[in-house]
Amino acid sequence: MDLEFSSFVLAAATTDLADEPAARGRADAVEFRMDLATDPLDALAGYDGRLPLVATNRPTWEGGEADPGVERVDRLRAAVDHEAVAAVDVELAALAGEIEGAVDPEAAAALVEDAASEAAVVVSTHDFEGTPHCDRLRELLAEAAAWGDVAKLAVTAEGPGDVLDLLAVTWRATTRGETVATMAMGEAGRHSRAVAPLYGSRIGYAPVDPAEATAPGQYDLGTLATLVERLQSGERGRSA
């Protein structure tokens, strides 16, 4: 299955691919959190849904539950072989070799190279402590964009100023021709998940089941789909 990021993609996050039918009509894709799933490769082998998949195997050092070693990367590589997997998420810190005890950055780079011919590559950074300075935000997006098809940046907002900084950086990166996905986690940044697409963010994430949020401040799928649609419809109306 193909997945284009020339326009906004709403991904329904889940640990159970049996949730896919519930996401149809609202989501454009399903983010399969392999690190939170039981027997994820078996689940992929049995997947017969309609929506393309974004395979994510998030390590413990970046908010997930996967061990940071080579098996995590091997599972992602195996996931890419499935026709339904249209994109794979790889952490920028793994590619940069910034995490002690994590997989060799050469192995992470090899995964990106192997996946590039079969799926889109999302290179991601998550900051659960706060929002870096604008200069650092720009650097992170530029570094991630140099590695993958989509540069994803999720930060934690402590107030409106953090959200404004993130949106400004999102707009600038988009006007430079980078394909980015940005969001501010936490209650203070929650609205960014609906607003960021207006500034160029190309991926949004929301759980099918509100009780199964995979990041702080997520809207449920139905709510985020409605908010984004209304905001984008209003923007089109003003343009007309």
What pLDDT shows up at residue 38? 92
What pLDDT shows up at residue 77? 95
- Given pLDDT bands bounded at 50, 70 and 90, which one contains residue 240? very low
- Given pLDDT bands bounded at 50, 70 and 90, which one contains residue 235? low
What pLDDT shows up at residue 1? 79
Domain spanning 9-239 has what CATH number? Answer: 3.20.20.70
Both ends of the chain: CA-CA distance in Å?
A: 33
What distance in Å separates the CA atoms of residue 62 and residue 124, rounded to the nearest whole number? 10
Q: Does residue 146 register a pLDDT over 90?
A: yes
What pLDDT shows up at residue 94? 93
> 88 φ, ψ to 5°?
-130, 140
What pLDDT shows up at residue 237? 54
DSSP H/E element including 185: strand 180-185
What pLDDT shows up at residue 158? 97
Give CB contacts under 8 A, 24+ apart, made by 219-225. 219/190, 219/193, 219/194, 221/10, 221/12, 221/23, 221/26, 221/27, 222/26, 224/10, 224/193, 224/194, 225/10, 225/26, 225/27
3-state SS, residue 213 = coil
Residue ranges in 153-208 assigned as alpha helix (H): 160-175, 192-195
Contacts of 81 (CB under 8 A, 6+ apart): 118
DSSP H/E element including 188: none
Q: Does residue 145 register a pLDDT over 90?
A: yes
pLDDT in tens, 16-53: 999 999 999 999 999 999 999 999 999 999 999 999 99
Domain locations along the chain? 9-239
Q: What is the DSSP letter of 10?
A: E
What pLDDT shows up at residue 239? 53
What pLDDT shows up at residue 102? 76
- Residues recognised as catalytic: 126, 152
**Per-residue burial over 172-190, b = 16 or more CB atoms within 10 Å of its CB, e = otherwise:** bbbeeebbbbbbbbbebbb
pLDDT in tens, 187-223: 999 999 999 999 999 999 999 887 877 777 899 999 9
What pLDDT shows up at residue 69? 82
pLDDT in tens, 89-144: 999 999 998 887 777 899 999 999 999 999 999 999 999 999 999 999 999 999 99
pLDDT in tens, 162-190: 999 999 999 999 999 999 999 999 999 99
> 237 φ, ψ to 5°?
-65, -40
What pLDDT shows up at residue 236? 57
Contacts of 97 (CB under 8 A, 6+ apart): 104, 105
Q: Which of 122, 118, 100 is nearest to 183 (CA)?
A: 122
